[in-house]
Amino acid sequence: MNSYSANRLKITLNINSEMYEKEILASDTLLSVLRDKLGLTGAKPGCLNGDCGACTVIIDKRPMKSCMLLAVEAFDTEILTIEGLKDTPIQRAFVEQFAFQCGYCTPGFILICHALLLTDHHPTNEKITTWLSSNICRCTGYQEIENALRSVINSLPLE
């Protein structure tokens, strides 16, 4: 059994292929550990209620809302945050397609797009809508975000 007492505990997290050892509380969310304990501020606190997706990270290739996840639950997983992406096609597409305005939702949107492309190079329209509906852009730049995703999909060879 894994057990963690309410006192401070030491945990090792695999984030962006680097191992981070940190003292946390069992009740700390992954979002708060990333931002407040590790200085990885790319995941944004938005609603803190699992609605907006600004805090999205990728865990074992699946998008997850880090405000809805205890950091202890992420033990023994591979965590990817926006800081771990370097010049990927989806990042370039967001720039080329003007897919951000204020930029607050951008890390979350880039990561959910990246996660989708990891699992499916040519998703259906329904799948694109389903995945992108997980995130909210308060500047309402949805069309440009979808255009950015589609531009990457269109650049990939048919399988």
Partner 1 sequence: MLSYNFDYYQPKSIDEAVGLYQTLKAEEKKPIYYSGGTEIITLGRLNLVKTGAVIDLKGIPECMEYTLHNHQLIIGSALSLNTFEENRLFPLLTLTSKEIADYTSRNKITLGGNICGQIFYREAVLPFLLTDSYVTIAGPNGIRKAAINEIFYCTLQLEEGEFLVQIATEEKFLMAPHLSVKKRKQWDTGYPLITVAALKKDEEIRFAFSGLCPYPFRSKQIETILNNQDLSYKDRISTSFQYLPKPILNDTEGSSGYRMFVLETTLTNIFSVLGGEEK
Please identify which residue in the block is written with the tokens 């650049």.
155
Least separation in angstroms between residue 74's CB and partner 1 is: 11
Residues that bind partner 1 (CB under 8 A): 1-6, 25-29, 31-32, 48-50, 53, 56, 62-65, 67-70, 72-73, 112, 129-131, 133-135
Instruction: Retrieve residue 98's tokens.
Output: 């003007």
Least separation in angstroms between residue 117's CB and partner 1 is: 14
User: Nearer to partner 1 by C-beta: 5 or 87?
Assistant: 5
Contacts of 74 (CB under 8 A, 6+ apart): 13, 30, 59
Least separation in angstroms between residue 9's CB and partner 1 is: 9
Q: What is the CA radius of gyration of the chain?
A: 16
User: Nearer to partner 1 by C-beta: 133 or 143?
Assistant: 133
62 - beta bridge partners? Answer: 59
Least separation in angstroms between residue 143's CB and partner 1 is: 15
User: Nearer to partner 1 by C-beta: 15 or 57?
Assistant: 57
29 - beta bridge partners? Answer: 70
DSSP string, 102-119: S-SSHHHHHHHHHHHHHH
Please identify which residue in the block is written with the tokens 């938005």.
46
User: Nearer to partner 1 by C-beta: 53 or 84?
Assistant: 53
